Amino acid sequence: MPSRVISPAGSARHLASIAIVFLDVLPPLVWLGYVLALALPLAASVAIERVDRQLPFLARFGLLAALLVASLLFVPGVVTSMPTVPTGSIIVAVTLGGPIAAIVGRFAAGRLENRRTGLAVGGGSFLAVLGAAFLGSSVGLAALPATILTSVSLVPAAAYVLVVAIDRPGRRIGLLLPAVVFGGALLGAVVVDAMNFAGPNSWIDWGFLTGVHNSSSAAAAGFYPVIGGSIILMVIVAVLAFPLGVGTAVYLEEYAPDNRFTRIIDVNISNLAGVPSVVYGLLGLGLFITYLGESPGTALVGGATLGLLILPIVIISAREAIRSVPDSMRQASYGMGATRWQTVKNVVLPEAFPGILTGTILAIGRAIGETAPLVVVGLPSVIYSLPTDLSSSVGAMPMQIYAWASLYAGPGFYNSAVPAGVVVLLVVLLAMNSVAIALRNRYQREN
Amino acid sequence: MSTDDLANELTRRTENAPQELLTRAFFFFCAVLSIVTTVAIIVLLTTEAAKFFSLTASLLGVEGQTVSLVDFFTGTTWQTSTGEYGVLPLVAGTLMVVIGSAIIALPLGVGTAIYLSEYASPRLRSKLKPALEILAGIPTVVYGFFALIYITPALGTVLPDIAFFNMASAAIVVGIMIIPMVASISEDAMSAVPDELREAGYGLGATKFDVSAGVVVPAAASGIFSSFILALSRAIGETMAVTIAAGSQARFLNPIDPTAYLEGAMPMTAAMIQLLTGDITGGGLAYRSLFAIGLTLFAITLLMNVISDLVAARYREEYE
């Protein structure tokens, strides 16, 4: 199934774009802390796997879980309080450029079937990113943007061009297309600038995307804290709802005996999916804020409420994906002596993964667009900064749009800031939904 | 490895190995969590609502202001500042949204479903169905803004005495919002009708319209009906669009009177949002009234979902 293999260059780009979002939301030092905190247990698990394969499962599991918790608890704190720290651009060059160089190197080695060239390409990529980190400020860009730009855009593109040019001489002509498109756009921008053409005066400009709310002037109002807030909420929702939703689906499809309790769970989930979103808001308000004593409007409360809201949707779509895995594959796995968990892990989940992913993306898109539960759990309608941790206040794009359309109602906001916010929100949602739908169509056609 | 070890290794029972037990326990925990969520919703809504009503508040030992059940369910004024908590104006507002959106969404949704299932070519259908899904994925706050900025002025050119916040635009926009739901569930039901029935119709000389309206729609009636109930239950629970478009004046309007739709009113969900954006103090009467409305809302939507399940199960035609 060659088409199932996602190209390494493409995955490097995806990885990088996700990483950029995080880098913008987190300061580089905090980012370094979390990267190290996740990298240490990963390295330990690889090491254990290499050294001793006979270790009992429970011991290995407990060790790694303890290591992960300890590392997440302590490493970020230790890193942020270190007396001497590398500059932001060096941190980014190592943590972002390093993995990208590794992926690019593997891609080159795989396509050219030559390890040494792959190593050279990977090493060259890393050196280029490091160079950008040191020299970025001397070419007119700040060091941090130069590093990110190099590692995310220049290095993968250059490596791809190089590999195609060496590997498939007949296809070199195809490389002209992106060059022509990009060059044309650049040329157009230069011509418009030089001849002073009047273009459309868009409300969505750099100032809108990077500015903060301004209650006196719609023209000066910005969307930045709520874009970041929505992204943070999205991550919390995904982290909470994905494992729980997939776990429930696996239980119901693979483990559950056919008894009354299972049927109750089944009916219960389909009814939960029909509960109005504002009632989930009341659940969050009553449970998290009144009874558990969290303060209103924090990232954790908002994310957990939205997570509960989409949990039934994730469960239902994951069940459908798991059900569509043919029974013959499960039986083949059992026939080879695999246990139930091994069958789930090695056969069912990988096979159902595209479907599960599609359902989860659609559900997270729904969570990002929800406003009512966030109003109920007390997210602030005006916020000027991004949250620094899970228990500080967070904004969300639909909340800001609602605030502009209600609290600041008037022609100024109606005609400028609200539509601009709506367009940004819709672009994000349509992008997510089209990725999900494209993913599903691609895998449906294969099956 | 000695032969004994090997025999042990080969005959070892894996069903209760720690790895298996641990993973099974995790999956079971996940499944139980959904029950816990439902129980939490019900317990929370009922205890907080019980503190709101005078009949039950004393049983829970809650001091302070309460509202009698009779006043809540038969009162015709909703004015939290003067302590008048009559839910009827809010229910009337919700009913108007449901009636208005049903008039828009049911014919259009079924029409869309018939077109997709009977008339559209497979290629067109594969393009149109994702478009419907995208329509379903647009946030409700966007629909509310759309109603306020586009639908209300458009209605204003035809009906000049329409208020800026009015029920008509709220109902229309909720109707547009639930079209995809009606269309996709009805279409699933129509696609499940076996081709033999259609071919039998054509064999009798029926036209495409005769077959669609006379064979497919009746055969898929239970699915279409349950799509109606699910969509209207969504319309009842819809919050942001009506909050933005219908305003925040609780008026007791007559849902049967068409001219009432030109005025603004406050459906149940909008009242909840209005309570929250106003200054409510945690634990006060206004805070508890929120849960009383929430419980009413939850009970209505739960009842509708159960009815939809029953209808689908009772009247489903089984085709082999």
pLDDT tens readout for residues B238-249: 888 898 888 778
In-domain check, residue A270: yes
Shared-domain flag, residues A137 and A261: no
Q: What number of other Cβ atoms are within 10 A of residue B98's Cβ? A: 22
In-domain check, residue A193: no
In-domain check, residue A185: no
User: Is the pLDDT at A446 greater than 70, yes or no?
Assistant: no
- Percentage of chain A exceeding pLDDT 90: 19
Shared-domain flag, residues A224 and A81: no
- Percentage of chain B exceeding pLDDT 90: 37
Least confident of A121-130, A136-145, B118-127: A136-145
Task: Report whether A356 contacts A317 (CB < 8 A).
Answer: yes
Q: Which of B98, B240, B272 to mutate to test the interface with A (most CBs of A within 10 A)?
A: B240
With an 8 Å Cβ cutoff, are A371 and B141 in contact?
A: yes
User: Is the pLDDT at A5 greater than 60, yes or no?
Assistant: no
In-domain check, residue A132: yes
With an 8 Å Cβ cutoff, are A369 and B236 in contact?
A: no
pLDDT band at A46 (very low <50, low <70, confident <90, very high): confident
Q: Is A256 on the interface with B (CB under 8 A)?
A: yes
Q: Which of A226, A271, A368, A371 to mutate to test the interface with B (most CBs of B within 10 A)?
A: A371
Shared-domain flag, residues A335 and A237: yes
Q: Is B203 on the interface with A (CB under 8 A)?
A: no
Shared-domain flag, residues A311 and A378: yes
User: Is the pLDDT at A20 greater than 70, yes or no?
Assistant: no
Of B34, B294, B298, the CB nearest to A315: B34
Phi, then psi, of A384 in degrees rounded to 5:
-110, -5
CA dist., res. B141 & res. A372, Å (int) = 9
For chain B, what is the mean pLDDT?
86
Least confident of A156-165, A322-331, B49-58, B275-284: B275-284
With an 8 Å Cβ cutoff, are B24 and A405 in contact?
A: no
Shared-domain flag, residues A243 and A369: yes
Enter the tokens of residue B245.
């478009």
In-domain check, residue A236: yes
Shared-domain flag, residues A149 and A265: no
Domain stop point among A134, A167, A200:
A167
Shared-domain flag, residues A134 and A36: yes
In-domain check, residue A134: yes
A287 is in which domain, residue-wise?
210-446
Q: Is B1 on the interface with A (CB under 8 A)?
A: no
User: Is the pLDDT at B174 greater than 90, yes or no?
Assistant: yes
Q: How many distinct structural domains can be found in chain A? A: 2
pLDDT tens readout for residues A279-313: 999 999 989 988 888 888 889 999 999 999 999 99
The residue of chain B with its CA nearest to that of A340 is: B20
Of B24, B273, B306, the CB nearest to A255: B24
ipTM for the whole complex: 0.88
With an 8 Å Cβ cutoff, are B30 and A429 in contact?
A: no
With an 8 Å Cβ cutoff, are A278 and B29 in contact?
A: no
pLDDT band at B9 (very low <50, low <70, confident <90, very high): low
Phi, then psi, of B67 in degrees rounded to 5:
-125, 140
Shared-domain flag, residues A223 and A98: no
pLDDT tens readout for residues A383-440: 888 887 778 888 899 998 888 888 777 777 777 788 888 999 998 888 888 888 888 7
Q: How far is A279 from chain B (nearest CA, A)?
A: 6
Shared-domain flag, residues A300 and A215: yes
CA dist., res. A80 & res. A76, Å (int) = 6
In-domain check, residue A369: yes
Shared-domain flag, residues A98 and A244: no
Contacts of B130 in chain A (CB under 8 A): 437, 441
Contacts of B48 in chain A (CB under 8 A): 286
Of B30, B126, B282, the CB nearest to A244: B30
Look up the CATH number of the domain holding residue A429: 1.10.3720.10
pLDDT at B318: 67
Domain stop point among A114, A137, A167:
A167
pLDDT tens readout for residues B267-304: 999 988 888 876 565 567 888 888 899 999 999 999 99
Phi, then psi, of B175 in degrees rounded to 5:
-60, -45
With an 8 Å Cβ cutoff, are B230 and A274 in contact?
A: yes
Shared-domain flag, residues A63 and A157: yes
Compare A57 and A227 and report the one with higher pLDDT: A227
Q: How far is B199 from chain A (nearest CA, A)?
A: 28
Domain stop point among A167, A200, A226:
A167
In-domain check, residue A190: no
Shared-domain flag, residues A256 and A144: no
